[in-house]
Amino acid sequence: MPSISSLSPGNLSPRARKMTTVGIGTAGAAALALTVLPGTADHGDAGQATAARKVNAENVAFSSHSSVLPKQGKDIAAAQHSLIAVPEGAQQVRSVKDATTTAKSFTTTDEAADAIRAGAKERAAKADAEKKAEAERAAKETANRSEQRAAKPSYPDNLDGWIREAMAIMDKHNIPGSYEGIHRNIVRESGGDPRAINNWDINAQNGVPSKGLLQVIKPTFDAYHVEGTSWDQYDPVANIVTACNYAADRYGSMDNVNSAY
């Protein structure tokens, strides 16, 4: 097989050298890697000439297609441009996505703002409802206190008030007695002193002195005590009510008592 050096321009005809130079100039160093047909080594110069003609023919054929290269270059450039355009397109897609995300974020912000306003409105409504309920409770308590005062009128803390309060209780328990009859017996028994006590009569000698406005002894007070009144024997209202209850049982009414009873 002839060596690569046997195909050098010095071994070729002037025409072959010219065409070979063109082919090499156009295709570059890679065009020299040509395959030589078998058997050229056996024919000496004739084989070399044949090989040279083959090389020239192939170079001519190769160079004849060199006009295609510009189009291929354009195609390659177009391909390269398309490769560059892909990131640009991706950037455009990202820009659209960013815009969409931004729009969504604006929507989310608006919705959050609406939710905040709705929450504030709800809290305000709840606060108003609580305030209204508190006002209603206060009004109801005031009304209840008024009703209680109306149901249980206050009485002055004196003899007149004690008698009138005692008569209100007696009326609920159907215990008879008039203002005049109660007042008259109180003046005779204690002179209107709720802390009066008798320490010299027979009851005192027996260890159960008479006490209070109507001078009631302890066994009588306990036996004729009226529910809802004080268990204090000196309490003026409880003393009057108990004494009138006893007098009603013994004399029909405190009005019928004109002396010690």
pLDDT digits (tens, 9 = 90+) for 32-48: 333 333 444 444 444 45
Q: Which two tokens stand for residue 9?
A: 């321009």
Predicted pLDDT of residue 183: 98
Residues in the chain: 261
In the predicted structure, residue 73 carries a pLDDT above the cut 60: no
Please tell me the predicted confidence (pLDDT) of residue 18. 46
CB environment 141-165: b (16+ within 10 A), e (fewer): eeeeeeeeeeeeeeeeeebeebbeb
Distances (CA, A) of 182 to 98, 234, 259: 100, 16, 12
Tokens standing for 205? 């000698």
| pLDDT of 19 above 90 | no
What's the pLDDT at 243? Answer: 98
The pTM score is: 0.45
pLDDT of 65: 44
Q: From CA 178, how far away is CA 167, in angstroms rounded? A: 8
Percentage helix, strand, coil, to 5, in the chain? 75, 0, 25
pLDDT at 94 over 80: no
Across 39-48, 124-133, 182-191, the highest mean pLDDT is recorded for 182-191
- DSSP single-letter state for residue 210: E
Q: Indicate the pLDDT class of residue 13, thresholds 50, 70 and 90.
A: low
- pLDDT, residue 54, reads 52
Residue 107 has pLDDT above 60, yes or no: no
What DSSP assignment string belongs to 168-194?
HHHHHTT----HHHHHHHHHHHTTT-T
**pLDDT for the residue numbered 253:** 97
Query: Please, what is the average pLDDT of the chain?
Result: 73
Q: At 16, is the secondary structure helix, strand, or coil?
A: helix
CA distances to 11, 26, 67, 69, 81 from 58, rounded to whole Å, are 17, 13, 16, 17, 34
**128, 179 Cβ separation under 8 angstroms:** no
Average pLDDT over residues 142-171: 87
Quote the CA–CA distance of 211 and 190 in Å, as a whole number.
9
Categorize the per-residue pLDDT at 239 as very low, low, confident or very high, splitting at 50, 70 and 90.
very high
Q: Say which residues have a Cβ less than 8 Å from residue 36's Cβ, sequence separation at least 6.
A: 1, 2, 7, 51, 54
Percent of the residues in the chain that have a pLDDT greater than 90, as a whole number: 45
- Residue 118: the pLDDT is 87
Residue 213 in contact with residue 236, Cβ under 8 Å?
A: yes
Arithmetic mean of pLDDT, 119-147 = 87
